[in-house]
Amino acid sequence: MPWMKWLDEVKWDANGLVPVIAQEAESGDVLMFAWMNREALQKTAELGRAVYFSRSRNKLWFKGEESGHEQVVHALRLDCDNDVVLLKITQKGHDPSIACHTGRHSCFYQELREGAWVAVEPVVKDPKSIYKP
């Protein structure tokens, strides 16, 4: 299909994946990093919500399918080398927003301080209350 040509312009890695950064549209906060395969990127564009590819589960992962913390996609961007996707999103499901499976706003909550990684962002909600055992 000619209208799907945009997917062919993405430089997929040897596993058919592309790295994806999810950035909160309003604040500019980088919330998470994940992977997409061709189907996930296509579904993300079609649905207007983030769909990733879970390498550990080897399947599509609709962000928020378990936690309720969906990501509404406002824009999809491709970097200058066509090998990294940036999603401008609004994180839904909790206020303040939670993107990380640790119950934090962002997956990037650790900071290097004096030679050690230190958690510098609080847990917004206990992940045991978010995910089913």
Q: Would you say residue 79 lies in a domain?
A: yes
Q: Would you say residue 119 lies in a domain?
A: no
Q: Would you say residue 7 lies in a domain?
A: yes
pLDDT digits (tens, 9 = 90+) for 115-131: 999 999 999 998 888 87
Tell me the CATH number at 64.
3.10.20.810
Q: Would you say residue 48 lies in a domain?
A: yes
pLDDT digits (tens, 9 = 90+) for 57-68: 999 999 988 888
Rounded Cα–Cα distance for residues 107 and 124 (Å): 12
pLDDT digits (tens, 9 = 90+) for 9-19: 999 999 999 99
Rounded Cα–Cα distance for residues 123 and 127 (Å): 9
Q: Would you say residue 30 lies in a domain?
A: yes
Q: Would you say residue 14 lies in a domain?
A: yes
Q: Residue 45 above 60 pLDDT?
A: yes
Query: Which residue bears the tokens 């030679």?
Result: 115
CB contact set of 67 (below 8 Å; sequence gap of 6+): 93, 98, 101, 130, 131
Q: Would you say residue 107 lies in a domain?
A: no
Q: Would you say residue 13 lies in a domain?
A: yes
Q: What is the mean pLDDT of the chain?
A: 93
Q: How many domains does the chain have?
A: 1
3-state secondary structure of 46: helix
Reduced DSSP (H G I as helix, E B as strand, rest coil) percent helix, strand, coil of the chain, to 5: 15, 35, 50
Strands 17-24 and 85-91: parallel
Residues spanned by the domain of 77: 2-95
Could you tell me which residues are beta bridge partners of residue 81?
none
Sorting pLDDT into bands at 50, 70 and 90, what band is 104?
Answer: very high
Q: Residue 2 above 70 pLDDT?
A: no
Q: Residue 27 above 90 pLDDT?
A: yes
